[in-house]
C-alpha cells in the first residue's frame, strides 16, 4: 500500500504533467482525478482503497472483467518469445495469423479477412479508406462521400472525427476531411422527423436514400453507423432499420460500414451488434472488447466482396498499415480474451442480464425515467422532468457523481442520458445494487432540480 505522502505526490504529478482526454484543464489542475489502481470481476478499487461497481466497463470495454490471470500469462509468454514483429512487406507473426483466422471463424459469414489496428479510430480510418479504395479499384474514383449519422461517435483521428456526428468532438479542429455528410438517425424517443414507429415506415432509413440521390449515387462511397449508438446516447434503431440500410446500399452500390467498436464482442447480447438484425454490412470496425481492454487493439473486418476489389487485378499493393498492425502480444491477448468470452457464454449472459436490468429499471416506477433502451449490457436511461412532455432533465452529470459517491460508476452522456455498460460478468447482486443506486440518485437529483426550478 502506498503511504499518504506517496498518494499525494502521485496526485500532484497527475495534475502537473498528465493531459487527460475530455477534462476542463483549468479545473483539473485544482481538483485532479480519481486514480484507479486495481480491479476484480466487475469491481475496481481506487488509490484510497474505495471499491466501486464498474457499471461502465471502464470505457465500454471490460467485457470479460478484471483480474484474469490467463491474459497476463499469454502476454508474458508472448513477450518472452517475441515482443514484436511487423506484418509489412509480407512479414508475419503467428498470433496475428491465428487471430485473423479466429475472426474469420466467429465474424458474420463471408468476413474472411482482418486488418489490425491499435484501436477504434484507426479501425474506422481503415474501413473508410478501404471503402474508397473499393470504388477506385472498381473504376469509380468519384464515389468518395461517406454518409454518417447525427450523434454518431467514430473516434478522434481526422477521418473518424469527421465521420462523427457530435459537434463538440469536432469543435476547434477545422478544417475537417472532405466528402463527409451527416443525416439524422433512428432516435425514436425524440424522432428528428417528428414521426412515430412503426407508422413512420422507417422514414429515417429512407433519409439515407434521399441523401444518396441528392448527392448523386456516383459520388457516394459508404454509409457508416454503429448498430447501437454509444456515446451519442445509447440510441437503438428499431427492427427493420438496418434491413432497409442494406437494401438502399445495394441499390446504389454504396458500402455499409458497421462501427462495432462498442457493440462487438458480446456487449449487445450477440458476438457482433449487427447480429441483432438480419442483415450484414460490408466492413466491420471493432476494438475495445476484442481484448476487453487488456491491451490496445482494433480491427477492420473485410467481407469477401470488398477483399476481391482490394485485390484488384492481383498486381496492386495495399498501401495502408500502422506500425502496430497485428502486434503479436495484443493478438495473443485477444485470442485468449475471445476464448474466455466464448467458453463462458458471455454474449448470451449479456443478453439475459441486460434484459433483466432494463426490466428492473422500468419496474422502478421512477417518474423521472422517460425511456430505458439498448441491447444486452449496453443500456441507456433517458431522464425527463415529466414523462408525458418528455422535457429533458439535464441532471445526468449530477446523477453520475451521486452514484459514484455511493460506490457505483455510471456515465452521463450529454445532459440527460445515463449509460450502463458493465463487464459482462457482473453478478445479479451487483446489477441490483446498480439499479437501486441509480434510482435513488435520479429521484434525489431530479427532485431537487425540480424544486429549484419551481422557486
322 binds ligand PLP (CB under 6 A): no
* Cβ closest to ligand PLP, residue 54 vs residue 259: 259
User: Interface with ligand PLP includes 226 (CB under 6 A)?
Assistant: yes
Taking a C-beta distance cutoff of 8 angstroms, is the pair 345, 353 a contact? no
Helices and strands (H and E) in the chain: how many = 15, 16
Q: Is residue 125 part of the contact set for ligand PLP (CB under 6 A)? A: no
Residue 186 CB, nearest approach to ligand PLP (Å): 16
For residues 227 to 246, the per-residue mask of contacts with ligand PLP, x marking binding by CB under 6 A and - elsewhere, is: ---xx---------------
Helix%, strand%, coil% for the chain, nearest 5: 45, 20, 40
Is 272 among the residues that bind ligand PLP (CB under 6 A)? no
C-alpha dist (Å) from residue 411 to 60, 263, 400, 406:
10, 17, 6, 14
Decide: is 121 part of the binding site for ligand PLP (CB under 6 A).
Answer: yes
Task: By CB under 6 A, name the one of 54, 125, 259, 282 that touches ligand PLP.
Answer: 259
CA distance 330 to 298: 10
List CB contacts of 365: < 8 A, sequence separation 6 or more. none
153 touches ligand PLP by CB under 6 A = yes
DSSP state of 386: E
Told to check if 281 binds ligand PLP by CB under 6 A, we report: no
Please report whether residue 180 would count as binding ligand PLP according to CB under 6 A.
no
What is the nearest approach in angstroms of ligand PLP to the Cβ of residue 424?
17
**Of 43, 78, 93, 124, which lies in the binding site for ligand PLP, with binding defined by CB under 6 A?**
124
Alpha-carbon gap, residue 224 to 275, rounded angstroms: 16
| Least distance to ligand PLP, CB of residue 289, Å | 11
* 120 near ligand PLP (CB under 6 A): yes
CB of 235 vs ligand PLP, minimal distance in Å: 12
Q: How far apart are CA 154 and CA 261, in angstroms?
A: 8
Q: How far is the CB of 141 from ligand PLP (least distance, A)?
A: 27
Question: What residue is closest to ligand PLP based on CB?
Answer: 120
Alpha-carbon radius of gyration of the chain: 22
Nearer CB in complex with ligand PLP: 54/209: 54
| CA pair distance 154, 399, nearest whole angstrom | 26
Q: Which is nearer to ligand PLP, 208 or 261 (CB)?
A: 261
Dihedral sign for Cα atoms in the order 177, 183, 184, 186: negative
Decide: 110 and 143 in contact? Cβ < 8 Å. Answer: no
99's grid cell: 487471430
Integer CA distances (angstroms), 137 to 131, 212, 253, 311, in order: 10, 21, 14, 8
Integer angstrom CA distances of residue 75 from 28, 184, 440: 34, 43, 42
Residue of the chain from 87, 234, 287, 424 that contacts ligand PLP (CB under 6 A) = 287
When the beta carbons of 120 and 374 are compared against ligand PLP, the nearer one is 120
Selected from 32, 155, 273, 328, the binder of ligand PLP by CB under 6 A is: 155
Determine if 154 is a binding residue for ligand PLP (CB under 6 A).
Answer: yes
Q: Which residues bind ligand PLP (CB under 6 A)?
A: 119-121, 124, 153-155, 226, 230-231, 259, 261-262, 287
Amino acid at each position: 500500500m502506498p503511504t499518504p505522502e506517496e498518494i499525494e505526490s502521485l496526485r500532484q504529478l497527475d495534475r502537473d504533467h498528465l493531459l487527460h482526454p475530455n477534462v476542463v484543464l483549468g479545473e483539473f489542475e485544482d481538483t485532479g482525478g480519481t486514480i484507479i489502481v486495481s480491479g476484480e470481476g466487475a469491481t475496481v478499487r481506487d488509490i484510497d482503497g474505495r471499491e466501486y461497481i464498474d457499471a461502465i466497463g471502464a470505457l465500454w470495454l471490460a467485457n470479460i472483467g478484471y483480474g484474469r490471470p490467463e491474459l497476463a500469462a499469454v502476454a508474458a509468454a508472448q513477450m518472452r518469445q517475441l515482443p514484436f514483429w511487423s506484418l509489412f512487406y509480407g512479414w508475419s507473426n503467428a498470433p496475428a495469423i491465428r487471430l485473423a483466422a479466429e475472426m474469420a471463424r466467429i465474424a458474420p459469414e463471408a468476413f474472411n479477412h482482418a486488418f489490425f489496428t491499435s484501436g477504434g479510430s484507426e479501425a474506422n480510418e481503415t474501413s473508410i479508406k478501404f471503402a474508397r479504395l473499393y470504388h477506385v479499384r472498381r473504376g469509380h474514383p468519384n464515389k468518395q462521400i461517406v454518409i454518417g449519422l447525427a450523434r454518431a461517435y467514430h473516434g478522434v483521428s481526422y477521418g473518424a472525427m469527421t465521420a462523427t456526428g457530435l459537434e463538440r468532438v469536432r469543435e476547434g479542429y477545422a478544417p475537417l476531411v472532405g466528402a463527409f455528410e451527416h443525416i439524422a438517425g433512428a432516435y425514436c424517443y425524440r424522432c428528428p422527423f417528428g414521426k412515430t414507429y412503426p407508422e413512420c415506415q422507417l422514414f429515417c432509413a429512407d433519409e439515407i436514400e434521399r441523401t444518396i440521390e441528392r448527392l448523386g449515387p456516383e459520388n457516394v462511397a459508404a454509409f457508416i453507423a454503429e448498430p447501437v449508438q454509444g456515446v451519442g446516447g445509447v440510441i437503438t434503431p428499431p427492427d427493420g432499420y438496418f434491413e432497409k440500410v442494406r437494401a438502399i446500399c445495394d441499390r446504389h452500390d454504396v458500402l455499409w460500414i458497421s462501427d462495432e467498436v462498442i457493440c462487438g464482442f458480446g456487449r449487445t447480447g450477440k458476438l457482433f451488434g449487427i447480429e441483432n438484425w438480419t442483415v450484414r454490412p460490408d466492413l466491420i470496425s471493432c476494438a475495445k472488447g476484442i481484448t476487453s481492454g487488456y491491451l490496445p487493439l482494433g480491427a477492420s473486418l473485410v467481407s469477401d466482396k470488398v477483399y476481391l476489389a482490394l485485390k484488384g487485378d492481383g498486381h496492386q499493393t495495399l498501401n495502408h498499415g500502422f506500425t502496430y498492425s497485428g502486434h503479436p502480444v495484443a493478438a495473443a491477448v485477444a485470442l485468449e480474451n475471445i476464448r474466455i468470452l466464448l467458453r463462458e457464454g458471455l454474449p448470451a449472459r449479456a443478453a439475459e442480464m441486460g434484459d433483466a436490468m432494463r426490466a428492473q429499471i422500468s419496474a422502478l416506477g421512477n417518474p423521472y425515467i422517460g425511456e430505458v433502451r439498448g441491447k444486452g449490457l449496453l443500456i441507456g436511461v433517458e431522464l425527463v422532468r415529466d414523462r408525458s412532455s418528455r422535457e429533458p432533465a439535464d441532471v445526468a452529470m449530477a446523477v453520475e457523481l451521486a452514484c459514484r459517491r455511493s460506490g457505483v460508476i455510471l456515465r452521463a452522456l450529454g445532459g440527460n442520458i445515463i449509460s450502463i455498460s458493465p463487464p459482462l460478468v457482473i453478478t445479479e447482486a451487483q446489477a441490483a445494487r446498480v439499479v437501486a443506486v441509480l434510482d435513488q440518485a435520479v429521484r434525489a437529483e431530479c427532485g431537487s432540480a425540480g424544486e429549484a426550478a419551481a422557486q
